[in-house]
Chains A and B, each alone.
Chain A
Amino acid sequence: MTKFLACLLALLGAGGAARAAVDPGAAVIPRMEYEPLAPGSYRLERIQGTPDARLLDTRGRTVHLRDFVRGKITLLTFFYTYCVDPLGCPYSHAVLRQLREALERDPALMRRTRFVSVSFDPGNDTPAAIARYAKLWRGDARFEWRFLTAPGVPQLLPLLDDMGQDVSVDKDAQGRPTRTLHHMLKMFLIDETGTVREIYTLAFLQPTVMLNDIRTLALESAAAAGVAAARPRM
C-alpha cells in the first residue's frame, strides 16, 4: 500500500464521524477477505457501451470522450475537486494512484492503460481548476491520466445518465443545500472497443482485483489478436 493511501486510511477514523454528519450511510472501507482470481481465469461481461460527450481538457481545449475510451483499457470515474468525503473522490483517486504505481512496474501494460477523471461540476471545476487537481495525482508523465470537465451541465448530464452515475446536492438537517455533492462512487472499466466490462462501487474498489481485471482484458485482447493473426488470409 502506498504511503499516501495508508495516510488516507489512517484519517478515515476521524473522517467517518464527519461523513456521518453529511451522509450517515453504510459506507465503510471495503474489506477483501478472499483470494482474487488469477487474470484470464474468468470472464468480464459486456455491460454496456460508452457514450460520447463534448468535454474540455486541462488546457481548455474541446475534446471528445469517445477518443479517450477506445484503443486502450480505460478506467473512467467522476469526481469534483472540492470533494472532501474521505470515502468519496479522494479515496477513488488514491486507489487509482495505487493502481498507477502498479502499472508503472509493468511498462507494457501501462502503455495499454489509461485513466479518465471527469468532473461533476463544470461551474467550479474549470480547466484551470482540474489542471491544479491533476497535479496532485498524475505522477509519471508516460502514463495517460486525463482530467476532463464539461463546458456546462447540459453537456454533462447525458453522459451521467447514460453511465448510470447519480449526483445530487446533499442537504443539511434543516433541508438546506450543502456544499457536498452526493454521488455513488463508481469506476468504470472499459475495454479497447469502448465497452464497459466492470463497474466498481466502494464495496468492490479493490486495487488487486482491479489490476487483475485490467490484465484479464489485456489477455483477452491478446488472445483475440492471436486468433486474428493465425486466421488464414484470403
Chain B
Amino acid sequence: MGRSKLIRGRADRAAGFTIGYAIRRAAGYALGRATICAMGCAVGVAALLSLPAASAFADETCNSPYISKLIKGQEGYVHVWTLGVEGLGDGSDKLVTVDVDPHSKSYGKVVGSVSVGGRGEAHHMGFTDDRRYLWAGNLDDSKIYVFDVGTHPGKPALIKTITDFAPGSGLVGPHTFYALPGRMLIGALSNTRDNGGVTGIALYNNKGALIRKYDIPRSKLGGVVGDGYGYDLAVNPAKNVLLSSSFTGRDNYMRDLGEVVKDPQAMKRFGNTMVVWNLKSFQPTQVLNVPGAPLEIRWNLVPGQNWAVTATALTSKIWLVRQDAAGTWSAKDVATIGDPAKIPLPVDISISADGKGLWVNTFMDGTTHYFDLSDPEHPKQTYEKKTGSQVNMVSQSWDGKRVYITSSLLAHWDKKGADNEQYLRAFNWDGHELAPAFQIDFLAAKLGRPHHMKFTAGT
C-alpha cells in the first residue's frame, strides 16, 4: 500500500515538474527576463504549484540543526504521535494532525488521523533531513512507522513500517529519531537479551535499512564508568560531537509506575550517565556522571556558545554540559526544578532559538516552568503555571510566541482516574504569561494518549 502511494506521488510530481518547467520557460523565466504571457503564466503558476512547495514557515527548536527548511514564523500543523487506548475509538496508535494556523477555518481542530492498526506504545518522532518524512517509534513492539508529511502536511500518509528493528539491531524501544544527512540515528532504550537498560544507537539510511549498531559504553572513559543506558541524542556539527543521555529499560518503562517506585531494585535500574561521542568516528570519548536519569538534550548552537542542557527525571535538576579550554567536556548541576523531595519528575524541555530560555514540564505536579538561561551556569526560574493534572511534552515555536503541551508520559506511567487527563493544549506566550489558545481533549475525541509533537508548515 505504502509503496504504491510512493510511486503515484513520484509520477504526479514528474508530470508537474515537466509542465512547470516548460511553462516557466515560456514565461521568460529561463531567459531571466520579465517577458510575461498572461495565459502562460496562469497555467505555469498552476503547474508549478503542483510541485512540493518549499514554503515552510515554522519550526520548533528541538530538531536536528541541519534539517532542511528550518524557518521562523507561524507553524501550520502540529502532528501528535498518540498512544492508542483499548476501547477508545479504534484503540490504535495514531498520528493525529491538528491545524494550528490562527487564520485557518479549522484552527485548533483535528484535520487528520492516521491509525497504524495496533498498539505498541507510541512515543517519539523525528524528521528526516529533508523534512519530508516523519519517523515515529513504538517502545513496546519496537515498530517504526514512516509518514509522508511533505506531500500534504495536513494529510500525512503512512508509507512504510519497519518491523525488524529489534531482531536486526538487538535493541528494543526505538526512542529518539535524529536526522543525519541521508540517515537516521535511532537511540534505543533497551535490548532484546534481557529487556534491561543496557542499549545502543542504531544508524539507518533514509530508505529504512539498518547500517550499523553502536553500543552505549560500559567501560571507563574520562574517569567515569558507563552504564550502557540510552535515551536522547543531540548533535553539534561544529564541534563534531554527539551527546547521548540515559533512562531505563523495557522492564521498567512497561511496568506500572507505582510498582516501579516501590521496588528498590527497579529504582536502581535507571541511567546515571551521559556520553560524549566523536560524531565522525562514532566512538565514545567521554562518559559524564549525571545521576538521576538525564533525559532530553538541547544544544545552544549559537556561535560561541556550544553548550547543552538536560534535565534529570529522578533528581529534578538542570545539568549543563560544556567544553573547557582544553577541549574536555564536563557536566554540572546548575539548577533545581521544583522541590526534588516531592519528585516532580521533569520530563520534556524546550530551549528557545536564542538559547536564553528553557521550558520544563514536570509530570507529577502538572506544571510548566520557564527558566532564564541567559547565564547557563545559573539558570533562574522566572515563571511557572499549572497546566494540567499531568503534563509531559512541551514544544515551542521558533519565535517562542507559541507553546504546545501534551499530557501522556507512558501508558503505564500516566495517572489514573480523574487525573488521567489526555490533551493537547496550545498557549500564546508574551514573555510574562501563558495564555490559553485552544485545547483538544483526546479522550473525548476518542484519540488516545497524546505524546510527542512535531510541526510542519501550512500549504
Contacts and interface: CB of A to CB of B under 8 A. Distances in A.
Interface of A: 23-26, 28, 30-34, 36-37, 41-43, 45-48, 82, 121-124, 152-154, 157-158, 161, 164, 166, 168-171, 175-177, 179, 182, 184, 186, 188, 196, 199-204, 209
B182 A169 contact: no
B281 A37 contact: yes
Contact of B65 (A26, A47, A121): A26
A34 B55 CA distance: 34
Contacts, number: 138
Interface in B1-59: 10, 13-14, 17-18, 20-22, 24-25, 29-30, 32, 44-45, 48-49, 51-55
B239 A153 contact: no
A48 B21 contact: no
B306 interface: yes
B183 interface: yes
B303 interface: yes
Nearest to A46: B211
30 contacts: A23-B54, A25-B71, A26-B65, A30-B237, A30-B238, A33-B238, A34-B238, A34-B240, A36-B240, A45-B212, A46-B211, A47-B205, A47-B211, A48-B182, A123-B22, A153-B14, A166-B52, A166-B68, A170-B54, A171-B53, A175-B49, A176-B45, A177-B48, A177-B51, A179-B24, A179-B29, A186-B181, A200-B181, A201-B129, A209-B280
Contacts of B212: 45
Given A186-B182, A199-B183, A33 B22 contact: no
A152 B68 CA distance: 26
B31 to A, nearest CB: 9
Contacts of B181: 186, 199-201, 204
B48 to A, nearest CB: 4
A204 to B, nearest CB: 6
Contacts of B30: 123-124
Given A123-B30, A164-B182, A32 B21 contact: no
Contact of B18 (A25, A152, A176, A184): A152
Interface in B80-128: 128
B238 A47 contact: no
A157 B10 contact: yes
Interface in B160-190: 180-183
Interface of B: 10, 13-14, 17-18, 20-22, 24-25, 29-30, 32, 44-45, 48-49, 51-55, 65-66, 68-73, 128-130, 132, 150, 180-183, 203, 205-207, 209, 211-212, 237-241, 278, 280-281, 283, 303, 306
Residue among A154, A170, A188 with max Cβ neighbours from chain B (10 Å): A154
Contact of A153 (B17, B72, B205): B17
A179 B31 CA distance: 11
Contact of B130 (A25, A82, A121, A166): A166
B280 A42 contact: yes
B51 A168 contact: yes
A82 B51 CA distance: 19
B53 A168 contact: yes
B281 A48 contact: no
Contact of A31 (B51, B182, B206, B238): B238
B44 to A, nearest CB: 8
B14 A154 contact: yes
Given A25-B68, A170-B55, A171-B54, 14 more contacts: A31-B303, A37-B278, A37-B281, A41-B281, A121-B21, A123-B21, A123-B30, A124-B25, A154-B14, A166-B68, A168-B54, A171-B53, A182-B69, A204-B66
Contacts of B20: 169, 177
Contact of A203 (B13, B65, B209, B283): B65
Contacts of B48: 169, 177
A189 to B, nearest CB: 11
B45 A177 contact: yes
Contacts of A123: 21-22, 24-25, 30
A41 to B, nearest CB: 7
A36 B239 CA distance: 10
Contact of A26 (B21, B24, B70): B70
A229 to B, nearest CB: 28
A158 B203 CA distance: 24
Question: What are the 4 A-B residue pairs with the smallest beta carbon separation, nearest first?
Answer: A182-B54, A123-B21, A42-B281, A199-B181
A100 to B, nearest CB: 22
A157 B17 contact: yes
Nearest to B207: A48
Residue among A24, A26, A170 with max Cβ neighbours from chain B (10 Å): A26
A43 B53 CA distance: 37
Contact of B306 (A33, A169, A202): A33
A34 B239 contact: yes
Given A37-B280, A123-B24, A169-B20, A175 B66 contact: no
B53 A169 contact: yes
Contacts of B203: 45
Nearest to B133: A164
Given A171-B53, A199-B181, A25 B69 contact: yes
Given A25-B71, A45-B203, A204-B66, A169 B238 contact: no
A37 B281 CA distance: 8
Contacts of B44: 177
Contacts of A176: 45
B323 to A, nearest CB: 9
Contacts of B29: 179
Contacts of A122: 21
